[in-house]
Structure 1
Amino acid sequence: MKLSLCIATYNEETNLHYPLDSAYNLVDEVIVVDGGSTDKTIQIAKSYGNKVKIIQTNNPPMFHINKQKALDAASGEWILQLDADEAVTDELKEEIIRIVNSEFRIQNSELKKSKKILNSKLNSELLIHNSEFVAYYVPRKNWFLNRFLMKGGQYPDYTIRLYRNGVVKFP
């Protein structure tokens, strides 16, 4: 199955290498939607080659709009949505490959029990009427002052980062 990496950027020249280096060989295409960067973000994205499609906008504070533009431009059956300062570990890569190349099934009754899924921004109608898994929460590690935050409710910081195309919409 085809996997698209979607990234919204604004002045991310120091960070953009994290998602691109860690996920480039995993995905079939990369969609970068940039909010009018004034640094070298665009040049860095272009340096990764033809697999990268760049969409330029002039709305830097509107990351949710830029993320949606990236989703709209993606052609993959699956979307891996990362922030410009996020990276994919080798362990997560293996899990993503296993997920996008498999058919996972879940009982509708189990979906209805999961408040975390039903309270998310996923299309709940699709979830309830479809027995396939459509989205996956990824436990993020948050770093502050070059240290991994392990206390204070910062880990695991679950966020939906892998989902089927057409399921997630940003407000």
Structure 2
Amino acid sequence: MKISVVIPTLNSERTIRLAVVSSLRVADEVIVVDSYSTDRTVEIAEKEGAKVLKVKGSRLIGRIEGAKAASGDYVVNLDSDMYFSENFKGFEEKVIALGEITVGKGIVHKLMILDREIVHKKWSENLTVLNGGIIPRMYDRQLLLKAYEMIPSSLKDKLNAFEDSVIYYNVMKLYKGKVQFIPNAVYHIEDDSLWGFMRKWYKYGKNAKLLRGTEYERFIYERRSRPGLTLGEKVKLFPLMVIKGVPFALGYYL
């Protein structure tokens, strides 16, 4: 079984080395799909052994073009601020969710640790397609390519938010098997400042306008809270919901 890792990038020089090096320890190839970075992202990725494609466009286009170029039986849709742990093993299904370990610094890091700890304990409820808090990142390549063909061209060209949810939604139209969850399979670097994190979610809200009037619009409303949580757990996650939700709503509705 061959594994290909696809990583879309744009000015990701700070984290891309770790992403590529860790990927090559567990995968047969790493494909970095760069949207014409102006920093050293491409140079670093190539030096560490990644195959680099330069494709101007959205994160979704990066995912698609990377999968087309891949040769593996499986494709892992990694982000440039993620890297693999020793728990990345034991693959049994065609759709696999990878539990994330939060690393970083600052208040955002602390809030995201709490969010992932709580959500991962309720992982079975959080794998639901429409409102789950865990989105699979590893797919059978042929299944993934068929799912990509189902996404409208208007979204492929521009979508930089909710792209992983759109991918999962279309995969599950085709796949009736089990979704596997592997705990603590990848590390995710979260060291944004509070202001930077809120600005990012504002941009996500603006980009999510592309989903209006499509079958994917339901993601915007159904993902407001994590399923399967107790009242106490919801209270603990309320601050994170606010710092995500307020800027997102401003970007989406204004």
TM-score, normalised with respect to structure 1: 0.68
**Aligned-pair CA distance for 1:22:** 1.6
Kept in 1, the 8 Å contact 2:17–2:48? The answer is no
TM-score, normalised with respect to structure 2: 0.47
**Aligned-pair CA distance for 1:137:** 1.0
Which residue in 1 is equivalent to 2:113? 150
Q: What is the number of residues matched between the two proteins?
A: 131
| Larger strand fraction of residues | 1
Residues 1-171 of structure 1 mapped to structure 2, 5 A cutoff:
1-49=1-49, 52-59=50-57, 62-92=58-88, 95=89, 98-99=90-91, 104=92, 133-142=93-102, 145-146=105-106, 147-148=109-110, 149-152=112-115, 155-156=119-120, 158-168=134-144, 169-170=147-148, 171=151
- State the alpha-carbon separation in 1 of the partners of residues 119 and 62 from structure 2: 27
Kept in 2, the 8 Å contact 1:5–1:27? The answer is yes
- State the alpha-carbon separation in 1 of the partners of residues 42 and 115 from structure 2: 36
Going from structure 1 to structure 2, the CA distance change for 1:165 and 1:145 (only over 3 Å counts) comes to same
Which residue in 2 is equivalent to 1:123? none
- State the alpha-carbon separation in 2 of the partners of residues 44 and 158 from structure 1: 30
- State the alpha-carbon separation in 2 of the partners of residues 41 and 155 from structure 1: 32
Q: Which runs of 5+ in 2 are unaligned?
A: 121-132, 152-254
Kept in 2, the 8 Å contact 1:141–1:155? The answer is no
Q: Which runs of 5+ in 1 are unaligned?
A: 105-132
**Aligned-pair CA distance for 1:151:** 3.1
Question: What letter corresponds to residue 79 of structure 1 in structure 2?
Answer: V
Determine which structure has more spread, i.e. the larger CA radius of gyration.
Answer: 2
- State the alpha-carbon separation in 1 of the partners of residues 87 and 101 from structure 2: 14
- State the alpha-carbon separation in 1 of the partners of residues 29 and 83 from structure 2: 16
| Larger helix fraction of residues | 2
The higher-RCO structure (CA 8 Å, 6+ apart) is 1
Note the alpha carbon deviations across 1:90-124, whole angstroms, 9 max, x for none: 122xx2xx32xxxx4xxxxxxxxxxxxxxxxxxxx
Kept in 1, the 8 Å contact 2:23–2:30? The answer is no
- State the alpha-carbon separation in 1 of the partners of residues 26 and 8 from structure 2: 18
Kept in 2, the 8 Å contact 1:6–1:32? The answer is yes
SS in 2 for 1:80: strand
**C-alpha RMSD of the superposition:** 2.1
- State the alpha-carbon separation in 1 of the partners of residues 102 and 64 from structure 2: 24
